[in-house]
Structure 1
Amino acid sequence: MASRHSAAFLIRPVLLVAALLAATWALSPDRAQAQRHPSSPELKKLPEPPAKLPKVGADRGRGLDFLFGALKAAPDDASAKHVEARIWALWAQTSSDTTALLMTRSKAALDAGNTAVALKLLDSVVKLRPDYLEGWNRRATVYYLQNDYDRSLHDIEQVLVREPRHFGALAGLGMIMQELGDDKRALDAYRKALAVNPHLDKVPDLVKTLTEKVEGRDI
């Protein structure tokens, strides 16, 4: 009996993935288009990892502390982007083949504009691996694209509890606060993001604009 229960336990994740992937294949292009959110990704886009991440390699042993130090010390944007990609690679790393597959399929669904399927897949990632911060981060992005700021903020909080230096989540927090009209909290979030990663795209300009708006111009 013990071996039968063990086998059932091992099979469940596989069956779950199969069912979720079947849902993605069952949706026709027309149906996927109908579920596309009207907001354009070009107009609403949270910081995200590059399309192709570098191999973790030696960074696994050096760890994030080393990379964050290198990120702050980067002499130019090109060097910073190289280190930033290595940080994203460590964040994306998972020892679970199931999690990796679900994340890959969720990205494909999101790229196709099918947020409903992307959310189902990410719900499973969060449930299976609650300590995997990129599951929370990716789902926060999907909620943000749907203008569901409450759920997006909840997931961003989960990311920052696990990794307070997550500059993508911090910048995302700033964007949501700014859209909600809370410029003071938006400015605070952007400043924290820049303290971690001084080379973030567009964030320095946002900090400058909001500083003048919240704190006034220097006399």
Structure 2
Amino acid sequence: MKNGVASIIALALSLAFHGPALAQEQTCPPAPDHSAALTDLIRAAQAAEDERSGRMLSNEMWALWSDAPDSYAQELLDEGMSRRNIYDYDGAMKAFEALIAYCPDYAEGYNQRAFIHFLREDFSAALPDLDRTLALSPRHVAAITGRALTLSALERKAEAVLALRKALAMNPWLSERHLLPVLEAAEQEL
């Protein structure tokens, strides 16, 4: 982990001192195109007969979303996720911000930063990152689910219901499926 932090600091310092010239030298390649594999996983999740099978397919989807464009981007993503897992949200945020600066067209950087905002209960900050994730990766089921949870926390129940239904249409086995009746009831009360 120390090497990851050192890399983040080195990139930030290099960008600060060398500006646009260095940024042009260190260009993030396009994210891998996993659209066909994601289509197959979504179809399999829709046809899955039980929760265990659906969860396994969700894990395979995560493997696709977390496949960064290059080794440096992967290092930043892994560092941020490791930091998040030990509740070092400041360190995680730095890693995800560095990832977004390096790879502005890689959806998972925004999704992970949104998750940190969500964990910090800064729901208003999470929503634009989730929207950017979905602009880059419209079938990111986890981001759609995260958007539903964020909208619910912002008391935007009708939008939350629509988002959760959209996610469940792609993967009916999401653990958040149990929240749909609760959100629908809350929407009815409004």
With the length of structure 2 as denominator, give the TM-score of the two structures. Answer: 0.78
Looking at secondary structure, tell me which structure has more helix per residue. 2
User: In structure 1, what residue type is equivalent to 2:7?
Assistant: V
In structure 2, what is the equivalent of residue 212 of structure 1?
185
Q: Which range moves more in the overlay, 118-127 or 164-173?
A: 164-173
Question: Cα–Cα, structure 1 residues 190 and 61, in superposed 2: closer, same or farther, change >3 Å?
Answer: closer
User: In structure 2, what residue type is equivalent to 1:17?
Assistant: S
Question: Cα–Cα, structure 1 residues 204 and 63, in superposed 2: closer, same or farther, change >3 Å?
Answer: closer
Amino-acid identity (%):
28
Question: Cα–Cα, structure 1 residues 188 and 19, in superposed 2: closer, same or farther, change >3 Å?
Answer: same
In structure 1, what is the equivalent of residue 141 of structure 2?
167
Which among 76, 82, 96 is matched to residue 50 of structure 2? 76
Structure 1 runs of 4+ with >4 Å offset: none
Shift of 1:211: 2.0
Q: Are 1:20 and 1:120, in contact at CA under 8 Å, matched by a contact in 2?
A: no
Q: Are 2:8 and 2:95, in contact at CA under 8 Å, matched by a contact in 1?
A: no
Which among 84, 100, 103 is matched to residue 129 of structure 1? 103
Shift of 1:18: 5.3
Indicate yes or no: 2:7 matched with 1:17. Answer: yes
User: In structure 2, what residue type is equivalent to 1:143?
Assistant: H
Q: Are 1:194 and 1:200, in contact at CA under 8 Å, matched by a contact in 2?
A: yes
In the aligned structure 1, how far is the partner of 2:5 from the partner of 2:152?
42
For structure 1, the residue ranges without an aligned partner over 5 or more in a row are 1-13, 22-59
With the length of structure 1 as denominator, give the TM-score of the two structures. Answer: 0.68
Q: Please give the secondary structure, in 2, of the residue aligned with 1:198.
A: coil
- Across the aligned residues of Structure 1 and Structure 2, the Cα RMSD in angstroms comes to 2.5
Structure possessing the higher radius of gyration over alpha carbons: 1
In structure 2, what is the equivalent of residue 146 of structure 1?
120
In the aligned structure 1, how far is the partner of 2:179 from the partner of 2:5?
46
